[in-house]
Structure 1
Amino acid sequence: MLTAEEHDVFERDGIVKIPSAFTSDEAAAMRDVLWSELSARHGMDRDDRATWTPLRPTGLKTTKSSRAALAVLGPRVRSALDGLLGEWIQPKHAGQVLVTMPEGVPWSVPHRQWHTDVGFETPTEAVKIWALLGDLEPGGGGTPQVAGSHRIIERFLTTTDEREFKAVRDQVLRSDPWLRNLTSEQRTVDPLEPTEIEGLPARVVELTGQAGDVYLTHPWILHSIAPNAGDVPRMMRSRFIWKAQ
């Protein structure tokens, strides 16, 4: 179960981290399965960086359904989901596999592709899981997210009848100078500087940590895709957990 402080963090930021939600051995087993499929589908050798293409391999169906990944939904994550959702639907698998190979480029906060993964027609009772399969340092391709953006979107929806996904997203991103700066290639302010948007705190955070860490996020958190400026592949799993109706 999340502590009262962790609940407060989730309410404020829409993001809470559960350290060591599964063991390093369980994470290593998931990486082994993933490397096996990367080898079979893309000819990647974990010991030969010259084979690490494409940069963002897809189609990892075997890994997606691997039983090794069931450890993501271990006791600590289940208890946290119980506290946030009450009864929830047991997923059929541990979610999408996210891999970003080292790109040999400088890291920066992206200005494009900021989005949510669900629409705004009705309040969404769900939590998204982001599970780290390997250690993830800053700049290593961890998904950048705008902490607090769920509350900015929630308040925006009280001011308009608009619910079309792209329209709401674009209007929110144009609604404040800090957000406009975030999505501009010609930035005038460091997007890593925290801010307040009409009294609501917001800041960019990277999902970093150790193998076995899990983040839980609100479904309306804005996030994007960052380059991997590190030396090791970024390996994660993500999926939605839906409240039982």
Structure 2
Amino acid sequence: MPKSKHVCLTSGRVQSFIDNGFIKIENAFSAELAKQGQDALWAEIGSPPNKPESWSRPVVRIGFMASRAFVEAANTPQLHEAYDRLVGEGRWIAPNGLGTFPIRFPSSESPGDDGWHVDMSFGTDNPDFMEWRINVKSSGRALLMLFLFSDVGPDDAPTRIRKGSHATIARDLLRYGEAGATLRQLSADGYASTEGCDVALATGAAGTVYLCHPFIVHAAQSHRGDKPRFMAQPPLLPKTEFDPEAPPSPVQIAIRQACGLTF
């Protein structure tokens, strides 16, 4: 795919990613691709979009989707440029689809999955997801990404993001070394070390993408609006382990600055 001639990430925006742990990219993919993605997801759900009475659950999860609309949405020139800037040119794998999709419906019922957490990166073949792991090098994950396939306002269950929490998590992970911490270990105190962080909401028009540091602490919330929220939350996968001989990427710089590391 050809490179974009438009620089979507200035040095200031890259620094914001290092400091805050995420950036918002508007118009990262087209409204038409968002509509095609919604149509495909409605077909997977098996519930008609024009019958709210059929929306009986607060959240429905759809797995990996690899049809054309999702592949194209994940691989626009703007996003490829952003992946290069944040992860390093040639250090990431182009997504061959998107997933998972926690589709959230207007509901007074608790979704049951709205706790603060960090996404784990490896060891995910363990049937006990509390034993999934993450380490200070972020083995197995280059970015956490949030793809909005519908307009998301403050009442539409936007993901909550603790700004700057990635630095705290990096320091917390340092003592676990390369073996890393399990989800059980890392979440034992409910991420109390990040409770003082300001909270941002992942709102935006369909076609918006949030690119987040792998260590960012985030959470779902209840849907108080009137239309379902469609979002994908895939990882961007690295091609290899971080190379200590290569110039550090902004993902690595954020970790190094937090921990005073030299890897």
TM over 0.5: yes
Gaps of 5+ in 2: 1-6, 121-132, 241-263
Any runs of at least 4 consecutive aligned residues in structure 1 with deviations exceeding 6 A, and if so which?
none
> Are residues 1:153 and 2:169 paired?
yes
Gaps of 5+ in 1: 180-194, 196-201
Query: Structure 1: how far apart are the matches of 2:73 and 2:21?
Result: 20
Of 94, 98, 123 in structure 1, the residue corresponding to residue 98 of structure 2 is 94
Aligned to 1:198: none
Of 222, 237, 242 in structure 1, the residue corresponding to residue 217 of structure 2 is 222
8 Å contact from structure 1 (residues 19, 214) kept in 2: yes
Which has the higher relative contact order, 1 or 2, with Cα contacts under 8 A spaced 6 or more apart? Answer: 1
TM-fit CA distance, 1:49: 0.5
8 Å contact from structure 1 (residues 56, 99) kept in 2: yes
TM-score normalized by structure 1?
Answer: 0.78
Amino acid corresponding to residue 211 of structure 1 in structure 2? A
Q: Percent sequence identity over matched residues?
A: 28
8 Å contact from structure 1 (residues 134, 234) kept in 2: yes
Give the 3 Å change call, closer, same or farther, for CA 5–33 of structure 1 in structure 2: same
Query: Structure 1: how far apart are the matches of 2:101 and 2:202?
Result: 15
Query: Structure 1: how far apart are the matches of 2:238 and 2:33?
Result: 26
Aligned to 1:168: 186
Aligned to 1:128: 144
Query: Structure 2: how far apart are the matches of 1:38 and 1:126?
Result: 30
| 1:1-245 alignment, distance < 5 Å | 1=7, 2-39=9-46, 44-58=47-61, 60-61=62-63, 64-73=65-74, 74-86=76-88, 87=90, 88-104=92-108, 113-118=115-120, 119-124=133-138, 126-158=142-174, 163-171=181-189, 173-175=191-193, 179=195, 195=196, 202-245=197-240
Question: CA deviation digits over 1:107-165, x for unaligned, max 9?
Answer: xxx99621111233341151111110011000211111111111011123346768343
TM-score normalized by structure 2?
Answer: 0.73
Give the match's secondary structure for 2:39. Answer: helix
TM-fit CA distance, 1:90: 2.2
Give the 3 Å change call, closer, same or farther, for CA 129–160 of structure 1 in structure 2: closer
Give the match's secondary structure for 1:170. Answer: coil
TM-fit CA distance, 1:34: 1.4
Give the match's secondary structure for 2:79. Answer: helix
TM-fit CA distance, 1:232: 0.6
TM-fit CA distance, 1:236: 0.5
8 Å contact from structure 2 (residues 136, 174) kept in 1: no
Give the 3 Å change call, closer, same or farther, for CA 233–4 of structure 1 in structure 2: same
TM-fit CA distance, 1:94: 1.7
RMSD: 2.4
Amino acid corresponding to residue 105 of structure 2 in structure 1? M
TM-fit CA distance, 1:93: 1.8
